[in-house]
Chains A and B, each alone.
Chain A
Amino acid sequence: MVDKRVLGLMALLVGCAALYLLLGTRGNWEFALSLRVPRLIGLILVGVSVAVSTVLFQTITRNQILTPSIMGFDALYILIVSIGVFVLGGVGFATLSDVMRFGINLVALVGVAVILFGTLLGQARQDIMRMILTGIILGLFFRSLSSLLMRLTDPNEYTYVQAYSYARFNRFEDSLLTISALLLGLCLIAVWRLRLHLDVMALGYEAAVNLGLNMRRDQIIGLCLVAVMVAVATALVGPVAFLGLLVVSLTRSLIADDRHAILLPCSALVSCVVLVSGQTLLERVLGLVTPLTVIIDLVGGTVFLWLIYRKIPA
């Protein structure tokens, strides 16, 4: 039996996807679809990774205004690009195969996540706060390193760094899509098996330990899954700072149900609907005048401020 809200959102996503594929097609259908189908798959992969990783991260940190980007993931991605351009030169970096770039990204992001979890292995209670602070400091460190490298880089080469530093939703490589879909599929199976534990984790450290959860194990599994999903999303489109926060907050206010069996699929679907409909609007109606990220960050930033403002007692 599938929840009605999940079914409704699924129908909405199918509608959005159909609109994206079919709106404004002229001439050769096959050609149009061969361009649009991979892009649609890419958007859905990104939407699901970002939403699920954000829900997971918020449950583990027990904080509903956090996203994985606070752990310095986005900054690390830009640092990797900067190092790549600095070492290989802009053209050299651009000619690197996508799978290669993806692999480097994945290893670096998961590696840093594991280092961060090293701080988790200390004491039981303040861990998460310590980890988040470590993440913020690492983020700052990565950003400073990137800007140092950018100063050392030829200004012409620097444009390559810029090109990769903004999320781009307009092109997806087929080879990357396959790997991403595979990795994301494995992550989703693992997350789904963890969903009942996640409900208990949301009760807090003491309550979860009382109910017999092995907190350290579940937290580390959860954070590793977050790292892989963030790597998938950034490898496909680059850093998407506010998308996760935006769609998860939207979902929470829409469904008002914190059970992960509902929250996870609904967030993933809302995220896909936002991405696919946003991209449809931009491509077909606005004619690609602004990148989708600019709009997402603008709306997401506003939601973030509103969330913080709402928490401040009047």
Chain B
Amino acid sequence: MICVKNVSFAIGQQAILDDINVDIPKGGVVALIGPNGAGKSTLLSLISRLTPVQTGQVFVDELRIGKCDNTALARRLAILPQHNSFSSRLTVRDLIGFGRFPHNRGRPTAQDHSMISDAIDLFHLGPLAHRFLESLSGGQRQKACVAMTYVQDTDYLLLDEPLNNLDIAAARGLMQVLRRMAQRDQKTIVIVLHDINFAAAYADHLIVMKAGRIIAQGAPHDLISQKLLHDVFETDAPVHLVEGVPVVLP
């Protein structure tokens, strides 16, 4: 379980997060949604220790962020940041191999190699395995990065707007992989999404944020309504049920 206790965050005088308390239970896909500037990415980067916690506490199981050993945390929790810019020339296979670093400290074993090969098959990256990252499209690179976090083999996976720059096929493909990881491998996937329809279709649980606070959470079916869109996003978009899933019409 990820526990966020009394977390506030400010940049200069500007409060970004205001006394956040939330528990994210183990297992399933949890989506963070909310308007631009609500503090979703900040909350995610605090949980993933990319930004140091200012006030409050964040726990991943028994590990306290900022106090626990970094390697121990890297075996428990993986992050897929919004932007990845690699300065070294890497092949897809090299990149995926780095996902095993928390386990092997840079000295890969036979078991690591077979896990990397499995991930390449699972993500259909076989034909690209020996291509350099800079020669790939944004979507292909994104897939390679997800494969890297997959071989990191952690209980928790945090993704910050992973659907940016992906076409509909790639976006659906990625969400299906995440669903499968959550269901089959009992992983906890926490994901920041902009597209409410994707959140409604693939998440088990939604956390809605606005102006640095959590204002609602629950199952997509119970949560997404015209009123919520009006209150949170300040827009009057119609919501319809399609095959039991709420769909927001643009």
- Cβ of A148 within 8 Å of any chain B Cβ, yes or no, is no
- Cβ of B218 within 8 Å of any chain A Cβ, yes or no, is no
Contact (Cβ within 8 A) B89 A203: no
Segment 61-90 of B: residues with Cβ below 8 Å from A: 70-75, 78-79, 81, 83-90
* Cα distance A210–B75 in the bound complex, in angstroms: 9
Q: How far is the CB of A259 from chain B (nearest CB, A)?
A: 8
Q: How far is the CB of A246 from chain B (nearest CB, A)?
A: 19
* Cα distance A131–B51 in the bound complex, in angstroms: 19
Binding site secondary structure of chain B: loop
Q: What mask results when residues 161 to 195 of chain B are scored 1 for a CB within 8 Å of chain A, else 0?
A: 00000000000000000000000000000000000
Contact (Cβ within 8 A) B86 A203: yes
Contact (Cβ within 8 A) A256 B89: yes
Binding site secondary structure of chain A: loop
Residue of A nearest to B85 (CB): A204
Contact (Cβ within 8 A) B74 A210: yes
Contacts of B99 in A (CB 8 A): 211
Q: How far is the CB of A249 from chain B (nearest CB, A)?
A: 14
Residue of A nearest to B158 (CB): A210
* Cα distance A152–B72 in the bound complex, in angstroms: 59
Residue of A nearest to B76 (CB): A212
Which among A64, A207, A211 is the interface contact of B86 at CB below 8 angstroms? Answer: A207
Contact (Cβ within 8 A) B87 A206: no
- Cβ of B35 within 8 Å of any chain A Cβ, yes or no, is no
Contact (Cβ within 8 A) A206 B74: no
* Cα distance A203–B94 in the bound complex, in angstroms: 11
Interface size counted on chain B using CB atoms at 8 A: 31
Contacts of A200 in B (CB 8 A): 98, 101, 106
Contact (Cβ within 8 A) B87 A209: no
Contact (Cβ within 8 A) A206 B86: no
Which of A197, A256, A258 counts the most chain B CB atoms within 10 A?
A: A258
**A202 and B87 in contact, given A210-B74, A211-B101 (Cβ under 8 angstroms):** yes
Segment 236-292 of A: residues with Cβ below 8 Å from B: 256-258
Contact (Cβ within 8 A) A210 B87: no
Q: Could you tell me which A residues sit within 8 Å of B by CB distance?
A: 59, 62-64, 124, 196-197, 199-200, 202-207, 209-214, 256-258
Q: Could you tell me which B residues sit within 8 Å of A by CB distance?
A: 48-52, 70-75, 78-79, 81, 83-90, 98-99, 101-102, 105-107, 149, 152
